[in-house]
């Protein structure tokens, strides 16, 4: 089992280009697994972790409801945003500047064959990271992601998650609001959940800007601890 994960920070990159790149890496792992089974070989499958920041974009998961997008095509253009229907789970979400997006493209059979555990570990890496900033955060029953103020009238989501898995290979991942323009969330019903707010780390800390690279390093530390893996750059 290969417990090494290759880190790639793509910087600011178009959503569609990044999606195609994810698909390329994903297909490479799946094809190798098929080859191993067909030829009875044991070639190690690679694992990847992509960090990226996208220009303004809304994405709708395969089971999502298009009515949760509250903008017309012209309004999207006016806001400088794009829209894609994609092949992850979950409903609609927003990506944009000031948000850390993480895409682990890993062969879970290198770690454990349990997609539920995988999602909980992703959430836990974010929870542990935010706790380092003094935030009391956690899970909301039946709602994937990381929340603050769970069980109160002030519940607010700070990290959205949506993944795809096939043959135990994952793609897509999480989007953590660090210095995000929360106004863009007003144009959707985030994750299809009505009546709950969205927040960002800088807002919760009452500061203009949080060091995004520092947050990335904390995420990687907790991710590597949870998955008992080594991350190479």
**For residue 190, what pLDDT is reported?**
63
160 annotated as belonging to a binding site for a ligand: yes
90 annotated as belonging to a binding site for a ligand: yes
* Dihedral of alpha carbons 103, 194, 58, 100, sign: negative
Condensed to tens digits (0 to 9), the pLDDT of residues 39-95 reads 999 999 999 999 999 999 999 888 788 888 888 888 888 888 999 888 887 788 899
Architecture of the domain spanning 4-231: 2-Layer Sandwich (3.30)
Contact at 8 Å (CB) between 22 and 103?
yes
67 annotated as belonging to a binding site for a ligand: no
Is residue 192 scored above 60 in pLDDT?
A: no
- Residue with the bigger pLDDT between 79 and 227: it is 227
Name the residue among 191, 184, 192 with its Cα closest to residue 159: 191
Name the residue among 54, 214, 65 with its Cα closest to residue 132: 214
173 annotated as belonging to a binding site for a ligand: yes
**For residue 153, what pLDDT is reported?**
86
185 annotated as belonging to a binding site for a ligand: no
At 191, the pLDDT band (50, 70, 90 cuts) reads low
**For residue 38, what pLDDT is reported?**
96
Is residue 127 scored above 90 in pLDDT?
A: yes
* Catalytic positions: 191
Condensed to tens digits (0 to 9), the pLDDT of residues 195-212 reads 678 999 999 999 999 999
Q: Per this entry, what is the length of the chain?
A: 233
Contact at 8 Å (CB) between 62 and 192?
no
Residue 138 CA to residue 68 CA, distance in Å, equals 25
175 annotated as belonging to a binding site for a ligand: yes
Radius of gyration of the chain (CA): 17
105 annotated as belonging to a binding site for a ligand: no
Condensed to tens digits (0 to 9), the pLDDT of residues 103-119 reads 999 999 999 999 999 99
At 193, the pLDDT band (50, 70, 90 cuts) reads low
């Amino acid at each position: 089992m290969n417990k090494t994960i290759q880190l790639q920070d793509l910087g600011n990159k178009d959503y569609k280009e990044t999606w195609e790149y994810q698909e390329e890496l994903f297909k490479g792992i799946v094809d190798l697994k098929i080859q191993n089974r067909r030829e009875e070989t044991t070639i190690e499958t690679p694992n990847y972790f992509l960090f990226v920041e996208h220009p303004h974009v809304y994405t709708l998961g395969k089971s999502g409801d298009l009515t949760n997008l509250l903008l017309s095509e012209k309004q999207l253009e006016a806001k400088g945003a794009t829209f894609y229907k994609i092949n992850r789970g979950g409903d609609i979400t927003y990506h944009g500047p000031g948000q850390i997006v993480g895409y682990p493209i890993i062969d879970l059979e290198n770690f454990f064959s349990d997609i539920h555990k995988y999602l909980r570990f992703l959430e836990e890496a974010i929870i542990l990271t935010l706790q380092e900033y003094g935030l009391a955060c956690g899970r909301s029953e039946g709602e994937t992601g990381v929340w603050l103020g769970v069980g109160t009238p002030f519940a607010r989501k700070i990290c959205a998650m949506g993944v795809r898995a096939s043959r135990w290979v994952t793609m897509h991942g999480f989007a953590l609001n660090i210095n995000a323009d929360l106004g863009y969330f007003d144009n959707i019903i985030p994750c299809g959940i009505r009546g709950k707010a969205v927040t960002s780390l800088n807002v919760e800390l009452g500061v203009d800007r949080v060091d995004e690279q520092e947050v990335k390093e904390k995420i990687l530390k907790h991710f590597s601890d949870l998955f008992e893996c080594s991350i190479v750059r």
